[in-house]
Chain A
Amino acid sequence: MLTTEQIKHIANLARLELTAEEETKYGQQLSAVLDYVDKLSEVNTDKVLITSQTGGLVNAWRGDEVKPWDEAEVKVALAQGETADGQVKVKRVL
């Protein structure tokens, strides 16, 4: 069972602001899911390698080349938040 302190800690790590009601509700729901997931501890995996991919590709390299990207597309991509002098404007960090 996850405690309210744990839920608060996880929410902070995930950068999510939750209401008190959400903390209680998600705490219960996530605890139920984790109880179910604990089924995994029944399986002995001491000698099992973990899966890191299923595609079977080996060394899927590509050349490290600079390629031009459509300028109109770049403009649309960068024009959706606040901008100033063609740059994306962010909140004050310091």
Chain B
Amino acid sequence: MELNRLNIQEARVKLDSGEITARELTEACLEQIAATNERLNAVLTLCTETARAEADEADKRLKAGERLPLLGIPYLCKDNIMAKNIRVTAASKILEDYIAPYDATVIKKLKEAGAILLGKTNLDEFAHGASTENSAYGPTKNPWDLSRVPGGSSGGSGAAVAADLCIFALGSDTGGSIRYPAAFCGVVGYKSAYGAVSRSGLLSMTSSTDVIGPLTKTVADAAIVYNVIAGFDELDATTYQGDRKVELNSDVKGLRIGLPKEYFVAGLDPEVKKSIDKVKEELEKAGATFGEVSLPYTDYGIPVYYIITPSEVSSNLARFDGIAWGFKAQETKDLQDFYKKSRGQGFGPEAKRRIMLGTFALSAGYFDAYYKKAQAVRTLICQDFENAFKDFDLLLTPTAPHPAFKIGEKNNDPLAMYLEDIYVTGASLAGVQAISIPTGLVEKDGVMLPIAGQLIAPRNSENKLFRAAMVWEDKIKINKTNFI
């Protein structure tokens, strides 16, 4: 048995019974990373020594009789989340060799829970992208087909979970960045409602939509991780009070699920559509009811997102000025020249494009026409969801219009890449929660690739969301070959 292939619940049973140790589980993951990372480029920083120490500590706690859901479970974390005394790159040259001075709140919670941090995963620079090709450390490869992208921006985490480099991983989702790689890699990705999980210690991208969340091998695992990382945090004023624990069960009787008609249009791969129909069928058999619903402002999701996101990005990335930390340009004339050269040479192309787009949208004379306009249309998008949730408990949609595309296929056309986010930006802009779950495999050019669907739910509806997700996963399984 290769222990790294276990999910959280399976590993839990073996750890608690004493059949395996946390150290053995950790070594199995480290071995898999050593054996595959050269091909995948999923992991940017390995924490071998601290991981071993954390594993031994977890074994002591287990031996002493302590029982916690994540005690002794090894994980990987997207490299835009800070873990104390470990380098954090955001996959950008501008942060090279920056050492995180403190733990993100989620990392602190996972540490206390006894989870073991194996290392940090690759991403699009500062989480700007849908393919993980925008990393200063080279693209991550999709384990199902190494010539394809893993999705982004949490592509390192998606690939790592799919190829069993860890038991689970953390990602961040600003406009699909957990759900998209989950879909392309055939794993589960959960973006909670905005404010359910603390952002303290996450390198800010779009502060009004950034959410940290799990990428896991099963739906139940996503709930287990969420239960540990969610909750109010005084270091993040946007987190909200209240018990956020998900209770797992599979009762969907009477759940009303809406199919937004604007999500099933031209451009959607018929195989993806067919696979969503199958999900509907299974959930209907289990007792859920379905109906069509309209989210009339869906088409404006991408234009709104690509004004608001660059605007917040241009503001959030203003702090990277070469002073006090990070990349510094050499041979500069004066302070202005130093700023411009450090930033011009330190940021990659997509970060520069977004900074410029945002700077333009926020500049005098254009602010009303772009930023304010986008924030007004965003209100209409939020209202779309509010109205839909008057009649339905959940919405069922595709996550991506097609399976993973080839590396290099879209990278020279930013607009084509932005349009990839068509089904995922809505939930982010409205701050509601969504989970991406595999729906099947399709053949492309002789290889089998995963496809996925998404359930969207209002804030405070975790239990309904996970109930439907549990049934879905139980009825529709994808056979993962141990491809790598």
Contacts and interface: CB of A to CB of B under 8 A. Distances in A.
Interface of A: 2, 6-7, 10-18, 22, 26, 29-30, 32-34, 36-41, 43, 45, 48-57, 60, 62, 70, 73-74, 76-78, 80-81, 88, 90-93
Contact of B101 (A37, A76, A81): A76
Most A C-beta atoms less than 10 A away, residue of B101, B321, B341, B355: B101
Interface in B202-227: 208-209
B248 interface: no
Interface stretch (B35-43, B287-295, B357-365): B357-365
B415 A33 contact: yes
B130 to A, nearest CB: 14
B211 to A, nearest CB: 11
Given A45-B373, A76-B101, A32 B415 contact: yes
Chain B interface category by residue count: 35 or more
Interface of B: 84-85, 98-99, 101-102, 194-195, 208-209, 234, 237-238, 240, 297, 299-300, 302-304, 306-307, 314, 318, 321, 323-326, 328, 332, 334-341, 343-345, 347, 349, 352-353, 355-357, 359-360, 363, 370, 372-380, 382, 414-415, 418, 429-431, 459
A80 B459 CA distance: 40
26 contacts: A7-B356, A10-B356, A14-B314, A15-B343, A16-B356, A17-B343, A26-B352, A34-B357, A39-B300, A40-B300, A43-B297, A43-B300, A45-B379, A51-B376, A53-B238, A54-B430, A54-B431, A55-B195, A55-B240, A60-B238, A73-B101, A80-B98, A81-B326, A91-B323, A92-B335, A93-B335
B353 A51 contact: no
Contact of A50 (B299, B324, B375): B375
A54 B383 CA distance: 11
A12 B343 CA distance: 11
A76 to B, nearest CB: 4
A80 B379 contact: no
Most B C-beta atoms less than 10 A away, residue of A36, A37, A60: A37
Contacts of B324: 78, 80-81, 88, 90
A91 B338 contact: yes
Nearest to B375: A50
Most B C-beta atoms less than 10 A away, residue of A6, A15, A49, A90: A15
A70 B352 CA distance: 35
B422 to A, nearest CB: 12
Contacts of A16: 340, 343-344, 347, 352, 355-356
Contacts of B373: 40-41, 45
A60 B352 CA distance: 33
B175 to A, nearest CB: 13
B363 A10 contact: yes
Contacts of B363: 10, 13
Nearest to A83: B324
Nearest to A74: B101
Contacts of A91: 323, 332, 334-335, 338
Given A39-B300, A81-B324, A90-B323, A45 B380 contact: yes
A50 B321 CA distance: 31
A25 to B, nearest CB: 8
Given A18-B344, A57-B238, A51 B357 contact: no
Nearest to A7: B356
Contacts of A88: 323-324
Contacts of B102: 70, 73, 77
A30 B357 contact: yes
A48 B374 CA distance: 11
